């Protein structure tokens, strides 16, 4: 089996738009969640908070590419450009059959869909409609647009699986490199800010509604006083590369992907399964040939929903007991949906390279129905070698990734 390393990183998040900005924000315990005034005008929408990406120049994308992109694809394009530059990939390599993409989002361009469909339905006509509209709304808009913009001609694996979109993208890229189908894979995911995403969780009573006046308190993973998740936007891309290929071209290495598991509960469409969560972590450990005791930090999915946090805590406790440090960074920035897995993977790389195990923002008292896991209520500075990142999505789709610190031979 070939070893798979990370050689490039790019991101846009409510906590910053680079690896170093994200580290600084976590270290300083900043929160990127804010009150969204314009949502006051939306009837029946109870949640009024979100995390948004700021200070990103989407117009830096050439218009010939931008015209077929909604905001979700544009955010992904900026992050991908940064990851490619960080990895110093040549155009010759990117356009070879040995370089591919694995990228996803929960949905395509929400705003485009809201503009396009009502007009078509009301007028029963496609006359005058923008020919680019479908390309912005389609489920694989991110992967398709990135391939065009960066002239990528190898594998293209759209991973559109809601909250596991980008973690499945990383996993698919890892397997592509590990099993020899590619030498380089550009992986990640994205989500754009829109009230549709927030409304979906709001109507299921799963979104936070109590802290519009204090948005920094709105997301409380694992805490007994949590009242739901915060829907946010963001994007991220990482470059995965076969180790010898990376070394041959002198690439810097952030870490190594050593384990991956994905599974489906095959049960309830929205209610999470403790058994499914536990199984996917076991699969990831088996893939990495590791024991649970080898994992030194877990970045949990933990979105601050009632059932999700409880199920995840019991699955985690069943394997790791009460000692392994666990935290969810959704208290810092909300739930990035299709973008959460890749940004949280970058946070795992920060743990490996910067020795920062981030706290769980707003966590004070563990819900009495949660298993007794070691939820971090404060930042911890600790050297770690092996860490895990878990994500779970509607439909019972589960992912678990394991990252290891890279050491030169």
Inform me whether the pLDDT recorded for 254 exceeds 70: yes
Q: What are the pLDDT digits (tens) for 273-306?
A: 999 999 999 999 999 999 999 999 999 999 999 9
Whether residue 110 is contained in a domain is answered as yes
Whole-number pLDDT of residue 128: 67
Q: How many Cα atoms occupy the beta-carbon half-sphere of 358 within 13 Å?
A: 30
Whether residue 131 is contained in a domain is answered as yes
Whole-number pLDDT of residue 230: 98
Q: How many whole angstroms separate alpha carbon 53 and alpha carbon 38?
A: 16
Q: Is 163 a catalytic residue?
A: yes
Structure token pair of residue 27? 């270290």
Whether residue 188 is contained in a domain is answered as yes
Q: What are the pLDDT digits (tens) for 157-215?
A: 999 999 999 999 999 999 999 999 999 999 999 999 999 999 999 999 999 999 999 99
pLDDT band (50, 70, 90) for residue 122 = confident
Structure token pair of residue 290? 């590791």
CATH code for position 355 = 3.40.47.10
- With CA atoms as reference, report the closest residue to 346 among 331, 334, 356, 360: 356
105-119, 253-267, 309-323, 395-409: the lowest-pLDDT one:
105-119
Q: Is 317 a catalytic residue?
A: no
Whether residue 242 is contained in a domain is answered as yes
Of the candidates 99, 163, 340, 370, the residue annotated as catalytic is: 163
Whether residue 227 is contained in a domain is answered as yes
Q: How many whole angstroms separate alpha carbon 18 and alpha carbon 61?
A: 18
**Can you name the residues that pair with 388 across neighbouring β-strands?**
298, 402
Burial 61-75 (b: 16+ CB within 10 A, else e): beeebbebbbbbbbb
Q: What are the pLDDT digits (tens) for 231-248?
A: 999 999 999 999 999 999
Question: In this structure, are residues 62 and 113 in contact, taking their beta carbons and an 8 Å threshold?
Answer: no
Q: In the chain, pLDDT over 70 holds for what percent of residues?
A: 99
Q: What are the pLDDT digits (tens) for 17-71?
A: 999 999 999 999 999 999 999 999 999 999 999 999 999 999 999 999 999 999 9
Question: In this structure, are residues 141 and 73 in contact, taking their beta carbons and an 8 Å threshold?
Answer: yes
Of the candidates 140, 194, 211, 301, the residue annotated as catalytic is: 301
Whole-number pLDDT of residue 133: 87
**Of 409 and 198, which is predicted with more confidence?**
198
Inform me whether the pLDDT recorded for 127 exceeds 70: no
Whole-number pLDDT of residue 115: 78
Nearest-10 crossing angle of helices 110-123, 195-202: 90
Q: Is 335 a catalytic residue?
A: yes
pTM over 0.95: yes
Of the candidates 314, 335, 340, 370, the residue annotated as catalytic is: 335
Q: Which domain holds residue 236?
A: 4-404
The region that residue 341 occupies, defined by phi over 0 for left and psi between -120 and 50 for alpha, beta otherwise, is alpha
**Of 123 and 112, which is predicted with more confidence?**
112
Q: How many whole angstroms separate alpha carbon 263 and alpha carbon 392?
A: 10
Whether residue 409 is contained in a domain is answered as no
Whether residue 256 is contained in a domain is answered as yes
Question: In this structure, are residues 278 and 44 in contact, taking their beta carbons and an 8 Å threshold?
Answer: no
- Determine how many CB atoms are found less than 10 A away from the CB of residue 322: 11
Q: What are the pLDDT digits (tens) for 78-88?
A: 999 999 999 99
Q: Quote the mean pLDDT of the chain.
A: 96
99-103, 128-132, 186-190, 203-207: the lowest-pLDDT one:
128-132
Average pLDDT value for residue range 346-361: 98
**Can you name the residues that pair with 390 across neighbouring β-strands?**
400
Query: Could you identify the residue written with the tokens 């109590």?
Result: 210
Domain count of the fold of the chain: 1
Q: How many residues does the chain have?
A: 409
H helix or E strand, kind and range, residue 256: strand 255-264
- Determine how many CB atoms are found less than 10 A away from the CB of residue 354: 15
Q: How many whole angstroms separate alpha carbon 15 and alpha carbon 26?
A: 8
Whole-number pLDDT of residue 110: 87
Radius of gyration of the chain (CA): 20
């Amino acid at each position: 089996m070939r070893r798979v390393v990370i050689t490039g990183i790019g991101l846009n998040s409510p906590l910053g738009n680079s690896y170093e900005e994200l580290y600084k924000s976590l270290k300083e315990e900043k929160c990127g969640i804010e009150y969204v005034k314009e949502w006051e005008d939306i009837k029946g929408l109870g949640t009024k908070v979100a995390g948004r990406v700021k200070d990103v120049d989407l117009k830096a994308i050439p218009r010939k590419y931008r015209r077929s992109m909604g905001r979700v694809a544009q955010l992904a394009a900026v992050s991908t450009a940064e990851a490619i530059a960080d990895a110093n990939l040549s155009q010759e390599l990117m356009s070879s059959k040995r370089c591919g993409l694995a990228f996803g989002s929960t949905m395509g361009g929400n705003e485009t869909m809201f503009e396009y469909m009502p007009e078509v339905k009301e007028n029963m006509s496609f006359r005058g409609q923008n020919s680019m509209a479908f390309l912005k709304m389609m489920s694989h808009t991110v992967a398709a647009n990135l391939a065009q913009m960066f002239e990528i001609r190898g594998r293209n694996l759209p991973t559109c699986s809601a909250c596991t979109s980008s973690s499945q993208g990383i996993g698919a890229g890892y397997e592509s490199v590990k099993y020899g189908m590619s030498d380089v894979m550009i992986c990640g995911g994205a989500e754009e800010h829109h009230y549709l995403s927030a409304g979906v969780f709001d109507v299921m009573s799963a979104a936070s509604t109590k802290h519009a006046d204090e948005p920094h308190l709105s997301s409380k993973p694992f805490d007994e006083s949590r009242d739901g998740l915060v829907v946010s936007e963001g994007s991220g891309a990482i470059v995965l590369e076969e180790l010898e290929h990376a070394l041959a071209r002198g690439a810097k290495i952030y870490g190594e992907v050593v384990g991956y598991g994905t599974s489906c509960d095959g049960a309830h469409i929205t209610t999470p399964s403790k058994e499914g969560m536990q199984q996917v972590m076991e699969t990831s450990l088996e893939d990495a040939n590791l024991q649970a005791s080898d994992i030194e930090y877990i970045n949990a999915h933990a979105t601050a929903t009632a059932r999700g946090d409880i199920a995840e805590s019991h699955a985690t406790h069943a394997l790791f007991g009460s000692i392994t440090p666990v935290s969810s960074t959704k208290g810092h920035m909300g739930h990035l949906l299709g973008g959460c897995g890749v940004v949280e993977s970058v946070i795992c790389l920060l743990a490996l390279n910067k020795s920062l195990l981030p706290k769980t923002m707003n966590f004070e008292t563990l819900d009495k129905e949660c298993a007794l896991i070691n939820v971090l209520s404060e930042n911890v500075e600790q050297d770690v070698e092996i860490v895990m990142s878990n994500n779970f999505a509607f439909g019972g789709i589960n992912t678990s990734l394991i990252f290891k610190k890279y050491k030169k031979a």
